[in-house]
Amino acid sequence: MIKDESTLNVMIETVQKFVKERLIPFEEQCSENDEIPHEIIDEMRELGLFGLSIPEEYDGLGLTLEEEISVVLELCQASPIFRSVIGTNVGIGALGIVIDGTEEQKKKYLPKLAAGEIIGSFALTEPDAGSDAASLRTSAVKDGDHYVLNGTKRFITNAPEASVFTVFARTNPEIKGAGGISAFLVEKGTPGLSLGKNEKKMGQWGGHVCDVILDNCRVPASAIIGEKEGVGFKTAMRVLDKSRTHIAAVCVGAATRILDEALKYAVERKQFNKPIAEFQLIQAMLADSKSEIYAARSMVLETARKYDLKKNISTESSCSKLFASEMVCRVADRAVQILGGSGYIRDYAVERFYRDVRLFRLYEGTSQIQQLIIARNMIKEVS
């Protein structure tokens, strides 16, 4: 749902200009140094990118999902690490509070998250609970008006930069599955909370991931999102329904850029006395990528429109995330093929994107988990 098209168009134009002038020129440097310069993050903050999805009453922009995605499609034409900086505040690191937080929690955290003053992080995955998130072992034991948390969270995006973590822990050990899980807001600096070393990743250098360790970490009972025990997993799934659509849009944005790089190369690079773009086998790769990007883009926008109408998008968001994340990897693979040897060389953005986009098939639910969600929803509807 687009509330005001001309306002959205001005936003899109601004983000396009920012991407072209301020992000793309720094991509390589950020990747090589495994760090985004502070001044770039400050500029992103000033531009208002951290508050895309946070409601206006908490100082965010309050964009609808369709509007948010329209902006993300442009932002993600730069390296995905820039989106990753804002990604947790716009998505999983803030959505739990937006969806199920108490008024007090919203007032305390959302304005700061919207302004980018603090970074939010989402701590669900554990060493032994990845795809099977409902089996998580981190415990939260009630002790007076506090809870004591113990456990390790793995591969937590933006954890090194985060000031507030949405930590999922089991408050009721009697219930083995989802019903025993609660979501806690744990602030950086809380005694007992520490971080592991930064993981060395295949791609997305400049974006940081590490373990979050909870060792007798005491938090007040008021830190439970919504101050309700046992609904944390439901909160996580609702967060992921929305954020998977966002990730699908990230894939479409990246694929658009990758294809653009491949096309530019194909029309310039000459072999056998003509541009390689004139060869039909190259054209087939370009056309397949274009068609798949168009399909994924249509899926993402349609899912967002459905979300904005307050309809259940569990199936559609998984379909979009599954298709778009697989699609962007195919587009990146074809791009490397079109560039030939150059596609394997670091001087070309395509080599970096090829490694960067591989993550999208893994996080916020692997492709296989998306398949399970889609199929289970289908079966549920007929049984």
Partner 1 sequence: MKILVCIKQVPDMESRFKPAASGVWYDESDLAWRMNEYDEYAVEQAVQLREQLGEGCELTVLSIGPDRVGEAIKKALAMGCDRGVHVQDDAAATKDPWQIAAIIAAYAKDQGYDLIFTGMQSQDRGSAQVGVTVAEDLGYACATTLVGFAYDNGTVTAKRELEGGIKGVVKLTTPALVTCQLGLNVPRYPTLPNIMKAKKKEIQSIPVSELLKEEPLAATVSFHPPAKKGGGIVLEGEVGALVDQLMGILKEKTTVLR
CB nearer partner 1, residue 10 or residue 375: 10
Q: Which amino acid is at 340?
A: G
From residue 126 to residue 165, the character string flagging contacts with partner 1 as x (rule: CB under 8 A) and all else as - is ----------------------------------------
Side-chain half-sphere of 347: how many Cα atoms within 13 Å?
A: 3
What residues numbered 17-76 form the site for partner 1, per CB under 8 A?
Answer: 17-18, 46-49, 51-52, 56, 61-62, 71
The residue range among 1-9, 225-233, 291-299, 347-355 that interacts with partner 1, by the rule CB under 8 A, is 1-9
CB nearer partner 1, residue 50 or residue 205: 50
Give the shortest CB-19-to-partner 1 separation in angstroms. 11
Tell me the backbone φ, ψ of residue 210, rounded to 5 degrees.
Answer: -155, 175
Based on the shown chain and the rule CB under 8 A, indicate whether residue 7 belongs to the binding site for partner 1.
yes
Q: Which amino acid is at 249?
A: A
CB nearer partner 1, residue 116 or residue 226: 116
The runs of H, that is alpha helices, within 34-186 are 38-47, 65-75, 80-90, 92-100, 103-115
Give the shortest CB-222-to-partner 1 separation in angstroms. 30
Quick check: 53 and 98 in contact, CB under 8 A? yes
Residue 345 to residue 170: CA distance in whole angstroms: 46
Q: Which of 252, 247, 285 is nearest to 266 (CA)?
A: 285
Q: Nearest-5° angle of CA 32, CA 38, CA 39? A: 110
Q: Nearest-5° angle of CA 187, CA 40, CA 70? A: 85
Start-to-end CA span in the chain (Å): 32
CB nearer partner 1, residue 257 or residue 352: 257
Query: How many residues bind partner 1, per CB under 8 A?
Result: 20
The residue range among 14-22, 205-213, 224-232, 358-366 that interacts with partner 1, by the rule CB under 8 A, is 14-22
Based on the shown chain and the rule CB under 8 A, indicate whether residue 6 belongs to the binding site for partner 1.
yes
CB nearer partner 1, residue 11 or residue 140: 11
Which residues belong to the active site? 364
Enter the tokens of residue 174: 């009697």
Residue 150 to residue 217: CA distance in whole angstroms: 7
Q: Beta partners for 170?
A: 139, 181
The residue range among 5-13, 78-86, 352-360, 368-376 that interacts with partner 1, by the rule CB under 8 A, is 5-13
Q: Which amino acid is at 107?
A: K
Quick check: 93 and 113 in contact, CB under 8 A? yes
CB nearer partner 1, residue 25 or residue 220: 25
| Interface with partner 1 (CB under 8 A), residue from 1, 4, 294, 375 | 4
Based on the shown chain and the rule CB under 8 A, indicate whether residue 9 belongs to the binding site for partner 1.
yes
Quick check: 133 and 124 in contact, CB under 8 A? yes
The residue range among 11-19, 189-197, 328-336, 357-365 that interacts with partner 1, by the rule CB under 8 A, is 11-19
CB nearer partner 1, residue 52 or residue 225: 52
Quick check: 134 and 178 in contact, CB under 8 A? yes
Give the shortest CB-349-to-partner 1 separation in angstroms. 19
Q: Which of 303, 244, 305, 226 is nearest to 92 (CA)?
A: 244
Based on the shown chain and the rule CB under 8 A, indicate whether residue 327 belongs to the binding site for partner 1.
no
The residue range among 7-15, 169-177, 244-252, 367-375 that interacts with partner 1, by the rule CB under 8 A, is 7-15
Give me the residues that bind partner 1 (CB under 8 A), please: 4, 6-7, 9-11, 13-14, 17-18, 46-49, 51-52, 56, 61-62, 71
